[in-house]
Amino acid sequence: MHTELYYFSGTGNTYYIAKKIANSFPDSKLIAIGSLDLELPIKTDAQNIGILFPVYFYDAPKIVKRFLEKIELSNNPYVFLIANYGGGAGNALANCVTILKSRHIEVSTTMSFTLPDNSIIFPTPEEKMTPMLEKADHEIEKAIHALQNQEQSDLPSKKLGAHLVSKLMLKYSTDYLGFNALKISEDKCTNCGLCSKICPVNNIATSATYPQMNHNCEMCFACLHHCPEEAIRFKHMKPKTNYQYTNPNVKLKELLQI
Ligand SMILES: Cc1cc2nc3c(=O)[nH]c(=O)nc-3n(C[C@H](O)[C@H](O)[C@H](O)COP(=O)(O)O)c2cc1C
């Protein structure tokens, strides 16, 4: 049975879950959503399909929702959605289920895991990292067993409160904090080019002087967390800490393959 795992990941948490699942299904393929041409239909005849993503503002990332509008399935596959987040998933999974339902695609099960938060404003304390990663690891193992048995589960439904909080968080974080307008500090940047290579949506162009941010940011913060000089910050907000996080079980070269 052929398995395809479509994922979007900035700092490796989602990639880590996808990798663990891929390692447990013999004929499986990891596919980065950022590498797909979403102007075209994404056709697949896989019998097992996983879609994995981080939660942003109690919702799924924009690119994941665009992907859900484009995927075309055949053979009535087993479809599962997996979200991961630092504190709360809000309507992220429910919104994805709704998009797929409107396209007559039935989701068999949804799952979610808590992993260290990469959103900068809610940094996960150092001492909580290891227990959190170990707990998630254990839960992912159990989830893999359920997926191998093609278990079904009740699907989440949308909550009005989470919807309102999501809209507020998104507006505050973009209009006020500048989450989608990251800035490269020219004093610190050494023009090493890593930010451009690590961006999963190719939003950072290289130049002879400094990398240039384009206008297609998904707010994954891969560039900010990987920058060796800590030269990437929000346009409007100075974070209190120099918090940088990347999943310790994922190597840089794995994320660069995305
Ligand atoms: C822009 C942004 C918004 C986020 N919003 C939420 C949120 O609403 N709830 C939450 O629990 N975590 C939130 N997070 C944390 C991520 O969901 C979490 O760290 C996730 O594991 C990151 O996955 P990745 O390493 O694959 O990129 C947010 C992170 C970012 C960058």
Q: What is the pLDDT of residues 137-152, one digit of tens each?
A: 999 999 999 999 999 9
End-to-end CA distance of the chain: 24
Beta bridge pairs of residue 213: 204
Tokens 């090493």 found at: 192
Does domain 3-162 sit in CATH 3.40.50.360?
yes
Is the beta carbon of 14 within 6 A of some atom in ligand 1? yes
> What DSSP line would sit under 58-116, residue for residue?
TB--HHHHHHHHHEEE-S--EEEEEEEESS--TTHHHHHHHHHHHTT----EEEEEE--
Assess whether the C-beta atom of 123 lies below 6 angstroms from ligand 1: no
Nearest CA to ligand 1 atom 31: 119
pLDDT at 143: 98
pLDDT, one tens digit per residue, over 60-118 is 999 999 999 999 999 899 999 999 999 999 999 999 999 999 999 999 999 999 999 99
> What is the β-pairing status of strands 204-205 and 212-213?
antiparallel
Q: Is ligand 1 within 6 A of the CB of residue 85? A: yes
DSSP 8-state secondary structure symbol assigned to residue 56: B
87 lines ligand 1 (CB under 6 A): yes
Label residue 243 by pLDDT band (50, 70, 90).
confident
pLDDT tens digits, one per residue of 23-72 = 999 999 999 999 999 999 999 999 999 999 999 999 999 999 999 999 99
Q: List beta partners, residue 42.
A: 71
| pLDDT tops 80 at residue 253 | yes
